[in-house]
Structure 1
Amino acid sequence: MSTSPRNRTVVSCVLLVVSLGAGVTACGSGGHPLSGRPYDAADQISFNAPSGEREKVDPDKPLEVTADDDGRITDVTAVDAAGRYVAGELSADGGRWHSTSPLAANARYTVRVSTEDEDGAPGRETLTFHTGRPVTKKRLDVTFGPEAGKYGVGQPVTADLSVPVKDKASRAIVERALKVDSLPSAEGAWHWVDDKKLHYRPKEYWPANATIEVRSNLDGIKIGDRLWGGTAEPLRLTTGDKIVAVTDAAAHRMTVYKNDQVIKEIPVTTGMPGYDTRNGVKVVLAKEGTVRMTSASIGAADFYDLTVHHSVRVTNSGEYVHAAPWSTGSQGYANVSHGCTGMSTANAQWFYDTINEGDIVQVVNSGGDTMAPFGNGFGDWNLDWKNWSAGSALVGGTKEVPAPQEYARLRPESV
């Protein structure tokens, strides 16, 4: 009787399998399948796009998916070969889905549709199609800035457009496709400086030692009438320590912070009356070292022509932080410069070695105007977050952004 234990076990297993199989069949016929395998919904839905590669879909037209009377659409996912998803809207009854974001031209799309039949059983269908090339050759390319590298926590990201974009709806398409990601993460927004330039900054300064990735998803996307998105090279930036130098013009003193801790206090002199240093936050533009500064560059009545060392530029029009050995007797006591922030040679060398492009130089309690947000360097941080967000086509809505002030003087301004 060798058949006992093993054969009994086998027979039991066979009976179990049959039992489960019968259960699945019964549930399937009743509309409550235990299996997750969906049925083929090809006969239940229709597309307004031909499948395959021979016939191209017009990217100007929205994508539509429609269900027949025997079922309803529960979900649609449309994505191109570059990983760009198409936003869409599903009707309340599940009868129709249509795209709400534009398709890219000359792209391959995969559309996955989930359905339910009258009994609630799930169905699936997948469609692939290709869009044609745009009829027009007019395209919008994007150039990101600054150059890839390491910067201070105040450095804005810039996007220069090859073609002006004025229409608000077109601006929203452009802005939605310009992606900025940081690690650690930081809330931020684009701001339209003018029709061809955008700046991006976080709500607060970038995190210290962060990595920032910038890219465009505009390639092949329709932006407006006869205007299509072009290419853009991605950009990668990193930040260093948080360096902020705050100059109190009334106290004639600069306090330098590293990661929110005071690391040095420096006696300084700033602009005398009539040449007052601008108030506000300025982002370091460059470390220029030795610079020749003349009175002619600003039309000063008193003549000077000086070679200045350890010069750090903070405005396009020529405001610097630099060594000023001729005014050491006034540093910490009086403001005697033509607009720059001057300090002793030793302190200027320390500052030059400590500060980097993208770091923050802030001036308070000066008689000067506040630095303009745009047009004279990076004064972006002089807009509060509400006003900064108002310059976004996505966040701010309808507020128009004034054109930046033009500055003619690009030479060193003052000492």
Structure 2
Amino acid sequence: MSTTVISRGAGAILLVTALGTSATACGSDGNPLAASPYDAADQISFSGPTEAGKKADPDKPLEVTAQGEDGRITDVTAVDATGRQVSGELAADGSRWHSTSPLAGGAHYTVRVSTEDEDGRPGRKVLTFDTDKPKGQQLLNVKFGPEAGTYGVGQPITAELSQPIKDKAQRVVVERALRVDSKPAVQGSWYWVNDKELHYRPQDYWPANATVEAHSNLENIKISDKLRGGAAKPLKITTGDRIVAVTDAAKHLMTVYKNDEKIKEIPITTGKPGFATRNGIKVVLAKQYYVQMKSSTVGIAAGSSDSYDLPVYYATRVTWSGEYVHAAPWSVGSQGAANVSHGCTGMSTPNASWFFNTVHEGDLVQVVNSSGHNMELFDNGFGDWNMPWQKWVQGSAIAADADGAGAQTNKERLTPQSV
């Protein structure tokens, strides 16, 4: 006869005795820890409905409690039929687990409870229940942007809410339900631009040739006493090559990089004094083969020496207020030598055609060494990348040091043009 001592910490020592090769034990290898899980129904109590046909109140938290002194809870998972997992907290001594995130109304949940007895043998119990679907409540709908397609690596993901969310706790509920995943994976965060709009971006640009997916787990989740989450259409975009055009206003030169390799240098002209081009990183918003640009749209009176009314071709837009990269055949003599435009970046028609056909929405144009002011963060296109990452994450409702820094006004988008 042999005796094996298995230590399970200071609280228990288990002796397993074997009589030769014919000895029996709780598990196939003589170790009770290897035994098949027993039914833990008598070892736990559950706050949800246990009778068939009864439904749980989604506004009440779930709770699983260990019964007696001969066992403890080791793990609990609660998932609804769509795959949404309920967050929870397990007491250090295994005596109690409770949910920490809200349940969805009108959902079917499966709760899997793992336990162990005083000898360390594993127990299992699977519970299922349905929640009532609240009536008469308003829905918060979410619309993701941009539209599905292929974009440059600078394209932020946006989420537009159908109603304003000002309360910090409610923002946490909303933000936790808005998920963005990318392949390859990168670190990213939401930023509350205002009460109805969020932007999501990585710490650096998206990887080239990545897949980015956004979806909402907010449907039927309680946000406030009168508001629950509505359905949202998921979004899937892909990224192309990493295209970055660096515009040096002092050198009158644009250098275009593809996947960090220089592919072209272009002589340019940018904004003259009084109309200096904005410094900073801008995201390509749109491409228009032809635009009729009028000085009156940017506040220049007709008859002024600075007034203009020109047909412009190969126009790549980078701000809503009318800053473009475009063909400027009238200023070819100054390109590469002087800044003579009204804020746009001008180049020869062949170069503008090449640029127009090379870049896509979401690609990046970075202006340096201009005497102009810095690119606006949110109210004139996508200036998101001009905010340092440490400050960006502070605009998240669930960031540890979030202090409301993300609540800023998003002004109405304007549509004038400058040349």
- TM-score normalised to structure 1 length: 0.91
* Aligned CA distance change for structure 1 residues 52 and 330 (closer, same or farther; 3 Å): farther
Q: In structure 2, give the amino acid aligned to 1:255.
A: T
- 2:357 match: secondary structure: helix
User: RMSD in angstroms over aligned alpha carbons?
Assistant: 1.8
Equivalents in 2 of 1:284, 1:273: separation in Å? 24
Equivalents in 1 of 2:410, 2:127: separation in Å? 52
Higher-Rg member (1/2):
1
Q: In structure 1, give the amino acid aligned to 2:397.
A: A
Equivalents in 1 of 2:357, 2:387: separation in Å? 29
Look up the match of 2:11: none
Look up the match of 2:8: none
- 2:169 match: secondary structure: helix
Equivalents in 2 of 1:402, 1:393: separation in Å? 10
Q: In structure 2, give the amino acid aligned to 1:193.
A: V
Q: In structure 1, give the amino acid aligned to 2:36.
A: R
Q: Does 1:348 align with 2:347?
A: no
Equivalents in 2 of 1:315, 1:307: separation in Å? 19
Look up the match of 1:404: 409
* Aligned CA distance change for structure 1 residues 98 and 20 (closer, same or farther; 3 Å): farther
- 2:179 match: secondary structure: strand
Equivalents in 2 of 1:21, 1:399: separation in Å? 69
TM-superposed deviation, 1:90: 1.5
Equivalents in 2 of 1:336, 1:178: separation in Å? 46
Look up the match of 1:126: 126
Look up the match of 2:374: 370
Greater displacement, 193-202 / 87-96: 87-96
Q: Does 1:310 align with 2:314?
A: yes
Equivalents in 1 of 2:307, 2:85: separation in Å? 63
Equivalents in 1 of 2:338, 2:34: separation in Å? 83
- TM-score normalised to structure 2 length: 0.90
Q: Does 1:266 align with 2:266?
A: yes
Equivalents in 2 of 1:245, 1:277: separation in Å? 15
The aligned runs of 1:103-118 (5 Å cut-off) are 103-118=103-118
- CA deviations on 1:178-231 (whole Å, 9 max, x unpaired) are 111111111111100001100001110111111111111111211223211111
Equivalents in 2 of 1:167, 1:238: separation in Å? 34
Q: How many residues align?
A: 394
- CA deviations on 1:98-155 (whole Å, 9 max, x unpaired) are 1111111111111111122233322211110101112442111111000000000000
- 1:318 match: secondary structure: coil
- 1:54 match: secondary structure: coil
Q: Does 1:61 align with 2:84?
A: no
Q: In structure 2, give the amino acid aligned to 1:389.
A: V
Equivalents in 1 of 2:227, 2:134: separation in Å? 9
Look up the match of 1:358: 362
The aligned runs of 1:97-176 (5 Å cut-off) are 97-176=97-176
- Residue segments in structure 1 that go unaligned for 5+ positions in a row: 1-17
Contact 2:290 2:311 in 1 (8 A): yes
Contact 2:195 2:407 in 1 (8 A): no
Structure 1 consecutive aligned stretches of length 4 or more whose deviation exceeds 6 Å = 18-21
Equivalents in 2 of 1:52, 1:148: separation in Å? 45
Equivalents in 1 of 2:126, 2:323: separation in Å? 61
Look up the match of 2:185: 185
Look up the match of 2:16: none
- Residue segments in structure 2 that go unaligned for 5+ positions in a row: 1-18
* Aligned CA distance change for structure 1 residues 407 and 85 (closer, same or farther; 3 Å): closer
